[in-house]
Amino acid sequence: MTRPALPLSRPAGATRGGRAKNGAVFGAGIFVLIVLAVYLGPLIWRVDPPYLDLLARNAPPSPAHPLGTDELGRDMLARLMAGGRVSISVGLAAMAISVGLGAAIGLLAGFYRHLDGPLMRLTDLFLALPLLPLLLVMVTLFRDSLTQLVGPEAGLFALIVGAIGVTSWMQTARIVRGDVLALKERDFITAARSGGARDIRVITRHVLPNVLSPIIVSATLGVANAIILESALSFLGLGFPPDFPTWGRLLADATLYLQDYPGRAFWPGLAITLTGLSVIYIGDGVRDQLDPRTRARL
Amino acid sequence: MLSFTLRRLTLAVPTLLIISLLVFLLLDAAPGDPMSQVPLTIPPEVRAQMREALGLGAPAYVQFGLWLKQMFWIEPQVLIDQIFGTSLAADKLRVLSWQTRAPVMDMVAERLPQTLWVVGSAYLIGISIGLPVGILSAYRQYSALDRTGTFVTLVVYSVPPFVTGPLLIGVFAVHLGWVPSVYDTTHRVTDWQSFSVQLRQMILPIAVLALPTAAQLSRYMRASMLDTLPLDYIRTARAKGMPEHIVVLRHALRNSMIPVVTVIALGAPAMFGGAIITEQIFAINGIGAQLIGALQVGDLPTVQTLTFLFAGLIVLANLIADVLYGWLDPRIRYD
């Protein structure tokens, strides 16, 4: 698409692409930093997150507790790192499910004409679902039985990850389907078919690599989305149990003491926001690099 | 236009039916016994009778059919009764909450206005901030306004409501003391004084919901305007000597609105999700708070009805968006 120059626009090209790339590098840098901090941080800061320092309850930041302590004297820095490990693992696992489902449904709907109608109706139906209420319903009702089955932590992890995964694949499916529909008519697909390739081979070797860029973008956004949803569940008190810190749970606990210790809500809030923001920057940058048409738009 | 609207309306009915069936199956598959809270001293045969009284003995399809009948046949009659003073629904069994033994819809009728007030005004304010910002930053692309706007909207958009809520409370209610931190739903507006109190307590909950909406809309508005502004018909309009504000606001805006309307409609689930969180933060007793309360005690009829209502509100938002498409772009009506 050629764009005639607008009177008010600058010449298109290098600067815009460069900025998007900078944004992606910046986002990736922040994200890697957060991941390193929560996974490798405990090697340096060796305080046990559930350890109760009862003499230093509600302590302000000090060398002994760099971010202070909570109402039971637990070290906030250690809890923030432990919570981050849970939040980020939930984000990655739920993203894997939602992107896998979305890509599979999008590929099938785009590739097979007779599956297109039913699968897209299903997608529309899911888009009309009240997601947060449904997530709340699923997590509350199935919590006890799964907990008995595989233990409290593994059970809730599987439940929350699964619930978020099966309710957030729709955007990926729509985007992938649109791209597959356009790709299917291209000559190299016809060439592969005339070469005798089976459907499965055409899909995996010829179609899939060409729709990887929207899948990667959805994947990055999916991580942010899942972290925020999990935090929302924990914030409403229906996520992980209280002694199992996640960023959302830490934030929810801190809001109870907002009047007296406003600083305690700041760090988990910042962590959630920074992770989301960095991931959005990565997604934007990846999209701009892979698809120059949408450069510097959203 | 009317037949187009009607066609869309008939499409919404099966969607709603399937959603209510899905919710019902989910609740039906859920383990857990509503009798588990009953004291152990109650003998098993009484327990069985209590289960029978709750309608739990019947097979799933009977329970679902009963719910459908109560929801779509008896509840409208109750509504007609209340409006016209008739007695169509006298003595007919309505959807009863297990928790309070009162009709669910009566409680919903008390609580729905709170939710709709907050969500509705947040949507309106979000739209009236988001669209102008988006139009301006597209019109003056790469200007200082565009740069700051793009960055600020991205930041605001990525802060979830459960972070902004405590943050705003911390700054404006706790630190500065300008506004109350809790929404008082028993407050009645009678005069100027009480109106200003109402306004002040609505500011924070609405801001929490409106800001991300405004941010998201302005980003989509900007992108869509950037696609439209370089098109030939805009240049034609300018060449004809149209005033600039007519070119931008009438020619360009109308065509740019279509993707934005989609975003507004698809944002409805997120908006109601945000409303649940906002109601929790500011202690608003809307239907979101009711849902969480019902979930915590396992009051399945209330959960079923409320989830269906949320779905209904979302389908309604999509329906309005569909009708708006038809109005914005008449070609869509004849597909």
Token pair listed for B91: 């003595």
* Closest alpha carbon within chain A to B319: A128
Could you give the CA distance from residue B251 to residue B72 in angstroms, rounded to a whole number? 44
pTM higher than 0.90? no
Residue B111: predicted pLDDT: 85
Residue A295: predicted pLDDT: 44
Count the neighbouring beta carbons within 10 Å of the beta carbon of residue A16: 17
For the cut 70, the answer to whether the pLDDT of residue A1 exceeds it is no
SS3 B229: coil
Start-end of H helices in chain A: 14-44, 76-111, 113-127, 131-150, 152-166, 170-184, 187-194, 199-201, 212-235, 247-256, 263-290
Could you give the CA distance from residue B80 to residue B1 in angstroms, rounded to a whole number? 29
| Residue of B282, B208, B166 lying closest to A268 (CA atoms) | B166
Report residue A93's pLDDT band, with 50, 70 and 90 as the boundaries. very high
For the cut 60, the answer to whether the pLDDT of residue A297 exceeds it is no
Residue A6: predicted pLDDT: 39
For the cut 70, the answer to whether the pLDDT of residue A4 exceeds it is no
Quote the ipTM score. 0.76
Tell me the per-residue pLDDT of A41-88, one tens digit each, with 9 for 90 and over.
Answer: 777 777 777 777 667 666 677 776 677 777 776 777 888 888 888 888
A132 interfacial to chain B (CB closer than 8 Å): yes
pLDDT cut 70: percent of chain A above it: 86
Could you give the CA distance from residue A246 to residue A251 in angstroms, rounded to a whole number? 9
List all residues 6 or more positions away from A12 whose beta carbon is below 8 Å from its beta carbon: A3, A295
Token pair listed for A176: 């992938």
Could you give the CA distance from residue A68 to residue A261 in angstroms, rounded to a whole number? 10
Give the count of Cβ contacts less than 8 A between chain A and B: 149
Interface of A with B in 185-224 (CB under 8 A): 224
Interface test with A, best of B20, B159, B163, B220 (most A CBs within 10 A): B163
* Closest alpha carbon within chain A to B172: A259
Residue B31: predicted pLDDT: 67
For chain B, report the end-to-end CA distance as a whole number of angstroms. 13
Report residue A8's pLDDT band, with 50, 70 and 90 as the boundaries. very low
| Residue of B231, B228, B235 lying closest to B255 (CA atoms) | B228
**Spans of chain B below 70 pLDDT:** 31-37, 57, 89, 91, 332-335
Residue numbers in A near B165 (CB within 8 A): 255
In the block, which residue shows the tokens 């919404």?
B12
CA A72 vs CA A188, A264, B308: distances in Å: 64, 13, 41
The nearest CA of chain A is from the CA of B295 a distance in Å of 7
* Closest alpha carbon within chain B to A258: B170
Residue A13: predicted pLDDT: 41
Give the pLDDT mean for A16-43: 78
Residue A104: predicted pLDDT: 93
Give the pLDDT mean for A106-131: 86
Q: Which of B31, B174, B318 sits opposite A262 (nearest CB)?
A: B174
